[in-house]
Amino acid sequence: MNLGLLGAIAFIALIAAAMAYLSRAERQRLAQREAQWLAESATKGWTFMADKDGLFQRMRWQGQTDGVAWTLEYRRGRHKGKNSSDRAHRMRWWASAFQGPTSPVLCMAMNKGQEQPSVKLAQGEGMLAALVQKAAGAALDKTLDVYFGEEAGRNVDARLLKMVETVSQPGYLVMAQDEVAAEHWLAGGCGAMLAALVNDTESALHPDVGRPWVLWVGRQVMLANMRPVNSMAEVERMVKAGVSLTNA
């Protein structure tokens, strides 16, 4: 066996050992964090569980805050993509309110000042507009599944959602099947609370980057984003925002 081949084998063995070490260190770090979250959740009277679900590591909190029974789920991709920071993250919170809009209302997070983009083509008439609408509906349908889960996605026909131009909601583009019903719904306490949370510097809805989307389907209120969860403080902010919207 020549020296070149021996060197290649040694290099591969070194890489394999390094990857095994990093993988073990990552598992230990996750186990320590989950143990910490379990302890912190218990002090608040919440339950916490962690398990694996396919390609995701799943963490779930459940509790009751200000009379609202809620669930928050965070899914973290177990494998990185091509880039070291490219890892899938899904965080969503849901609860049931006393009442809800008569048809689904979706608030898509946008940067402040960009809440009303130009969508004349997508809402126009003719063959080209129809193609754009079909493509946009399919893309949005898939996005809803990713953000809010397939069950919620099945309850919302994205092809029927239209931009509600009569509603100006800071930090959000509002879409609905029934524009009048959505306008009526947001004209009440929910719209005012949503605006207040966007303007509250301590709220999960304040930053432009990673602002959660909000979906009302029947009595269910859902918040979702695609940012990593690194601390219990982030969980608490999401819970507080969700409870505020549910009780609005």
Rounded Cα distance between 77 and 57, Å, is 6
Residue 12 binned pLDDT confidence (cut-offs 50, 70, 90): low
pLDDT digits (tens, 9 = 90+) for 200-240: 999 999 988 889 999 999 899 999 999 889 899 999 999 99
Sequence-distant (≥ 6) Cβ neighbours of residue 33 within 8 angstroms: none
3-class DSSP state of 57: strand
Q: Kindly indicate the confidence band of residue 17, based on its pLDDT and cuts at 50, 70 and 90.
A: low
pLDDT digits (tens, 9 = 90+) for 117-174: 544 444 555 544 444 455 466 788 888 888 998 888 788 888 888 888 888 888 999 9
pLDDT of residue 56: 80
**Residue 80 pLDDT:** 60
Instruction: Give residue 26's pLDDT.
Output: 56
Of 221, 226, 211, 219, the C-alpha closest to 244 is 221
Q: In whole numbers, what is the pLDDT of the chain averaged over residues? A: 81
In 3D space, the residue among 193, 185, 194 whose CA is nearest the CA of residue 115 turns out to be: 194
What is the chain's percent helix, strand, coil content, to nearest 5?
Answer: 45, 25, 35
- DSSP per-residue codes, 12-54: HHHHHHHHHHHHHHHHHHHHHHHHHHHHHHHHTT-EEEEEEET
Q: What is the C-alpha separation between 192 and 185, in angstroms, rounded? A: 10
* Tens digits of residue pLDDT in 102-133: 899 999 998 876 666 544 444 555 544 444 45
What DSSP element (H or E) covers 72? strand 68-77
